[in-house]
């Protein structure tokens, strides 16, 4: 979607992106709200606006920078958009971070950043992938962006793995002591 919204004429691509994002959101969360019918599709359209904002920021603000700095525009705008939506009646419902619920190692980042760290990493990955695409899939042309992202992701995963290991060993030690004392 980043590639689509960065290219071509904005007057054509951005409304198409809005419709696509609204429809995808509407399809994904169909029958998960207390209302349906036209109200649900209006709700999906409203969410579509908030989903489009990071792409707008990337398209128009991101042009001012290049390389690593440019890859940070989309994830920062994505986090800002989700944060602002969280003040509404639905809170963090619909956050992209919830898509990672099975990845316990990654989810340990929640202890430091909350949902927004996960959202940031997802958005940053997409933006770095777009840098690779713009470089014609020649990784060496986007080496800096890929390296910095990879180092951050490895750091997050090492932290998460270490945290899970410590918690696991603490539970094992506690349960052994409990078992022997009974």
Torsion of CA 107, 110, 111, 114, to 10 degrees: -170
Domain region containing 128: 2-181
Is 53 within 8 Å of 73 (Cβ atoms)? no
- For the CA atoms of 45, 64, 6, 13, what is the dihedral angle to 10 degrees? 50
pLDDT, residue 3, reads 96
Please provide the DSSP assignment of 114-131 as one string. Answer: THHHHHHHHHHHHHHHHH
> Distance (Å, rounded) from C-alpha 145 to C-alpha 129?
9
Q: Compute the distance between CA of residue 128 and CA of residue 147 in angstroms, rounded to an integer.
A: 10
The per-residue pLDDT string of the chain (182 residues; one tens digit each, 9 = 90 and over) reads 999 999 999 999 999 999 999 999 999 888 888 888 899 999 999 999 999 999 999 999 999 999 999 999 999 999 999 999 999 888 998 899 999 999 999 999 999 999 999 999 999 999 999 999 999 999 999 999 999 999 999 999 999 999 999 987 777 776 555 555 55
Q: Which two tokens stand for residue 18?
A: 């809005």
Position 177 scores a pLDDT of 54
The residue among 67, 41, 53, 58 whose CA lies nearest residue 132 is 67
What's the structural domain count of the chain? Answer: 1
Q: What one-character DSSP code corresponds to residue 30?
A: T
d(CA 77, CA 123): 9
Dihedral sign (CA 13, 18, 23, 25): positive
Helix 67-85 and helix 143-181, axial crossing angle in degrees, nearest 10 = 50
For residue 17, give every residue at least 6 positions away whose Cβ sits within 8 Å of its Cβ, in sequence order, or none. 1, 4, 5, 52, 55
pTM of the model: 0.88
Residue 20 is predicted with a pLDDT of 96
């Amino acid at each position: 979607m980043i590639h689509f919204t960065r290219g071509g004429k904005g007057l054509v691509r951005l409304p198409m992106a809005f419709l696509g994002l609204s429809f995808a959101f509407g399809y994904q969360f169909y029958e998960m709200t207390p209302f349906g019918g036209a109200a649900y599709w209006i709700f999906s359209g409203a969410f579509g606006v908030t989903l489009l904002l990071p792409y707008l920021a990337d398209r128009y603000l991101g042009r001012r920078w290049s390389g690593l700095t440019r890859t940070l525009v989309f994830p920062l705008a994505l986090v800002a958009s989700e944060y602002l939506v969280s003040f509404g009646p639905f809170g963090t419902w619909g956050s992209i971070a919830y898509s990672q619920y099975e990845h316990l190692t990654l989810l340990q980042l929640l202890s430091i950043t909350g949902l927004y760290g996960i959202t940031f990493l997802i958005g940053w990955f997409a933006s770095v992938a777009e840098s690779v695409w713009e470089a014609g899939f020649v990784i060496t042309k986007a080496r800096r962006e890929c390296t910095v992202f990879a180092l951050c992701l490895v750091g997050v995963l090492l932290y998460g793995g270490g945290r899970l290991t410590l918690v696991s060993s603490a539970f094992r030690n506690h349960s052994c002591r409990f078992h022997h004392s009974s």
